[in-house]
Amino acid sequence: MQPWFNPARELDALVRRVAADLPALGAAFDPQVRPATDLRHGDFQANGVLAAAKAAKANPRDLAGQLLAALQAEGTLAKAGLEAEVAGPGFLNFRLAPAALAAWVAAYPDAEAWRKGASALLGGRKVVIDYPSPNTAKQMHVGHLRPIVIGEAVARLLEFCGARLTRDNHIGDWGTNFGILILAIKRRGFVLDVASPTALEDLEALYKEGSALAKADPAALEAARAELAQLQSGDPGNTALWERSVAVSNAACQRIYDQFGLRTDLILGESFYRDKVDRVYRELAEHGLAEVSDGALVVWHDDTPRYSRHAETKLPFIVRKKDGSSNYASTDLATILHRVEQLGAEEIVYVTDGRQQDHFQQLFLTAAKWFKATGRPLPRLRHVWFGTILGEDGKAIKTKSGDPVRLQSLIDEATAKAFDKVTEKSPDLPEAERRDLIAPRIGVAALRYADLVPSRTMDYRFSWDKMLAFEGNTAPYLLYQAVRVRSVFRNAGLRPGQGEAGATPPETPGEIALARKLLGFSAALDEACSGLLPHILCTYLHDLAGAYSSFYADNKVLVDEPAVRARRLALCARTSALLESGLRLLGIEPLERM
C-alpha cells in the first residue's frame, strides 16, 4: 500500500474504527493519537485508553491489551509497518519500522507530493482570508508588518493543506477621515498625482494639516463634516478626490506587498459595502435581533463578553450609528453575507491585531443569530489574532518624534544590515549579487521569520541582532542550512533526486532520526493548519535543520558502498526540498548561495 502521508491522523482513524467494535470502548472512544513526545518510546502514542478505563472503572492495562490484540488481528498495522506495544499505566506506543520510514521518504519526495498528501486536511473547502486589510491614506508602518507576514503565511498554509482560497484585502477606505482629507486637499488646491512616489507622504501631511485645522477652528471642522456628507451622498468632485486618494494609497501599499511577495485576489474595501448595509439593518430588525437604542441600531448579546475591555458594563454591538451612518460592524456583517453569497465561502479567516478580539467576538455572535434566523448555513468564522511588536526596551516601538516607524525604513535597514553580514561572511561573492539579490532576500526574510517564530498571540521584542544572527531559530540560519544541504549535491555533481536507486532503509541513529524528522512534517503541518499557527512550522524547520546537522556530522554521504550512499543521498535530497518548501510556505524564498 501507499504509505500514509499523515500517519498520526490515519492511525487515529484506524484505532477509532477498531475500538468501535469492542464493547468496552465503543464508537465514542477517543484514542488521542499524537506524535510521541519522547521518540525513544516510538513515533506515535495513543493515550485515550486511560480516560476510557477510568470512566468504565476497568483496568487500563487490560483494556489497552484488548485494544492492541484487536488492532493486530485487524492487520492494517503490520501493513503500515507499525510495531505496537502497551506501555506504562495503559498507553499504546507505535513505532515505524525502518523500512516504513524509507517507504515514506521514497513515496513523498517533493512539494507536489506533500501538497497532495496534505490536501486531505481541508479537502477543497472554500475559504476566504481577509488580510492585510490596512486603512488607507496612511503610509504603512511597523503595525502593518504582522498582518502582512502572518496573513501571508496563514494563506499559504491554508492553500497547501487543500483550501480553495480567496485572498480578500478588506481595506479601510470609507472612514470619516476623508472629510478632513478632502477639505485639506481643496484648501491647498493640491493636485494628486498617483504616479508620484511621494504621493502618499503628501496625503499624510495634508491630513495632518487638515486635522490640526479642524481641531483649532470649529468652522473648519464643520466644513470637513460637510465635505464628508457630500462624499457620502455621491458628489462627483469629492468622489473623484476620494478615489484618487485610495488609488495613491493602494499603489504605495502594493510597493510594500511586492517586497514581501504578497498578492491578494481581491481588494473589496469598506466602501464596497456602502450600498449593502441597508439589507443588514432590515434583516436584523425584521427578525427582532436589533433594536433602536439612543438613536443607534444595536444588537445585544447575553453571552459573556469574554474579551471585552468593558466586561462589567456590557456594551451592545452598534450596527448603525446615531446619525444613521454605517460603521465597522455593519460593514463587516454585509461583508460576511457577500462572501457567502458571492464567493461561496464555507469559512472566513480574519487576520488582525488582538485588540480587535472584542469586535470579532460580537461580530461572530451576531452573524450566528442572523444566519440562524434567516435559515442560511453559517460559514466557519475564525479570528487569527496576534500580539504587539515591542521595542528592545519592551515598550511599543516608535521613532524619536513619536511617530510609528515606517515599514519601508524597517525593510531598508534590514537590507543594509543583511548586506554587512553577508559581506563579512562571504566577501568573495560578487558585490552585485550580495547587494541586489542576497541582502534584500535575507533582510526581509529576517524581519518576517522573527515575526513568525513566537506563537502569534504573544507580544515579542524586536531585535536586529537576534533576527539577523546566523545561529538560533532565525531566517539566516535556515537559509544557510538550505544552501549547505544543496552544496552536497553540487560537490557530488548531482541534482537532488539523483543517485537514489538501490537505497536501503535507514540504519544508523543519525539516519533514523533524520528520516523520522522528515516524516514528522505531516504532523507539524496538521497542527499548524488546524490552529493557523505558523510558528509550529518554524519550530519544525529548525528541528529538521538540527537533525540534518547531527546526521551530517556522523554520516559521510558520498561513501563507496552504493546502497548506503543512495539512502544518504535520498535523505539529503528530502531535507533540501523540505527546508526550501517549508521556507516558501512561510513566505521566504530560499537562496542558491549566500
Stretch that binds ligand ARG, among 15-23, 131-139, 367-375, 554-562 (CB under 6 A): 131-139
**32 or 135: whose CB is closer to ligand ARG?**
135
264 is an interface residue for ligand ARG by CB under 6 A: no
In angstroms, give the least distance from the CB of 254 to ligand ARG.
17
- Binding-site member from 135, 308, 325, 327 for ligand ARG (CB under 6 A): 135
**R_g over Cα of the chain:** 28
**135 or 230: whose CB is closer to ligand ARG?**
135
In angstroms, give the least distance from the CB of 494 to ligand ARG.
48
In angstroms, give the least distance from the CB of 337 to ligand ARG.
13
Segment 512 to 551, residues that bind ligand ARG, using CB under 6 A = none
**135 or 549: whose CB is closer to ligand ARG?**
135
CA distance 130 to 167: 6
8 Å CB contact between 506 and 566 = no
3-state secondary structure 542-572: HHHHHHHHHHHHHCCCCCCCHHHHHHHHHHH
**203 or 569: whose CB is closer to ligand ARG?**
203
**160 or 273: whose CB is closer to ligand ARG?**
273
Q: How many other CB atoms sit within 10 Å of the CB of residue 489?
A: 19
First CA to last CA distance, the chain: 42
Helix, strand, coil percentages in the chain from 3-state DSSP, rounded to 5: 55, 10, 35
Which triple of cell numbers denotes residue 442? 535575507
In angstroms, give the least distance from the CB of 384 to ligand ARG.
11
In angstroms, give the least distance from the CB of 324 to ligand ARG.
21
Stretch that binds ligand ARG, among 126-134, 148-156, 295-303, 421-429 (CB under 6 A): 126-134
In sequence order, what E strands does 23-146 have?
33-35, 44-46, 82-87, 91-96, 126-130
CA distance 582 to 267: 28
Contacts of residue 437, Cβ cutoff 8 Å, sequence gap at least 6: 591
130 is an interface residue for ligand ARG by CB under 6 A: yes
Residue found under cell 526540498: 577
In angstroms, give the least distance from the CB of 172 to ligand ARG.
4
**130 or 580: whose CB is closer to ligand ARG?**
130
Contacts of residue 50, Cβ cutoff 8 Å, sequence gap at least 6: 60, 89, 90, 91
Stretch that binds ligand ARG, among 12-20, 39-47, 129-137, 202-210 (CB under 6 A): 129-137
Contacts of residue 378, Cβ cutoff 8 Å, sequence gap at least 6: 367, 368, 371, 372
Number of H helices and number of E strands within the chain?
Answer: 23, 13
- Say if strands 347-353 and 164-168 run parallel, antiparallel, or are unpaired: unpaired
Segment 350 to 369, residues that bind ligand ARG, using CB under 6 A = 350, 352
Stretch that binds ligand ARG, among 63-71, 87-95, 133-141, 309-317 (CB under 6 A): 133-141
**9 or 338: whose CB is closer to ligand ARG?**
338
Stretch that binds ligand ARG, among 114-122, 132-140, 187-195, 299-307 (CB under 6 A): 132-140
Q: How many residues bind ligand ARG (CB under 6 A)?
A: 10
249 is an interface residue for ligand ARG by CB under 6 A: no
Per the DSSP assignment, residues forming a β-bridge with 86 are 92
**60 or 172: whose CB is closer to ligand ARG?**
172
160 is an interface residue for ligand ARG by CB under 6 A: no
**130 or 347: whose CB is closer to ligand ARG?**
130
Which triple of cell numbers denotes residue 183? 477639505
- Binding-site member from 6, 45, 133, 245 for ligand ARG (CB under 6 A): 133
CA distance 287 to 290: 8
In angstroms, give the least distance from the CB of 308 to ligand ARG.
17
- Binding-site member from 159, 332, 511, 526 for ligand ARG (CB under 6 A): 332
347 is an interface residue for ligand ARG by CB under 6 A: no
Contacts of residue 289, Cβ cutoff 8 Å, sequence gap at least 6: 299, 366, 369, 370, 373
134 is an interface residue for ligand ARG by CB under 6 A: yes
8 Å CB contact between 512 and 567 = no
CA distance 266 to 345: 14
Q: How many other CB atoms sit within 10 Å of the CB of residue 420?
A: 12
Please choose, from the candidates 364, 409, 369, the residue with its C-alpha nearest in 3D space to the C-alpha of residue 385: 364
In angstroms, give the least distance from the CB of 150 to ligand ARG.
13
Which triple of cell numbers denotes residue 271? 466602501
Please choose, from the candidates 482, 459, 456, 593, the residue with its C-alpha nearest in 3D space to the C-alpha of residue 537: 456
Q: How many other CB atoms sit within 10 Å of the CB of residue 400?
A: 5
CA distance 314 to 298: 13
In angstroms, give the least distance from the CB of 585 to ligand ARG.
23
**176 or 491: whose CB is closer to ligand ARG?**
176
**133 or 238: whose CB is closer to ligand ARG?**
133
Binding mask 165-184 for ligand ARG (x = CB under 6 A): -----x-x------------
Stretch that binds ligand ARG, among 43-51, 128-136, 233-241, 381-389 (CB under 6 A): 128-136
Phi, psi of 299 (to 5 degrees): -120, 130
**349 or 569: whose CB is closer to ligand ARG?**
349
260 is an interface residue for ligand ARG by CB under 6 A: no
**130 or 358: whose CB is closer to ligand ARG?**
130
CA distance 186 to 188: 5
Please choose, from the candidates 131, 122, 172, the residue with its C-alpha nearest in 3D space to the C-alpha of residue 150: 131
Contact residues toward ligand ARG (CB under 6 A) are 130, 133-135, 170, 172, 332, 335, 350, 352
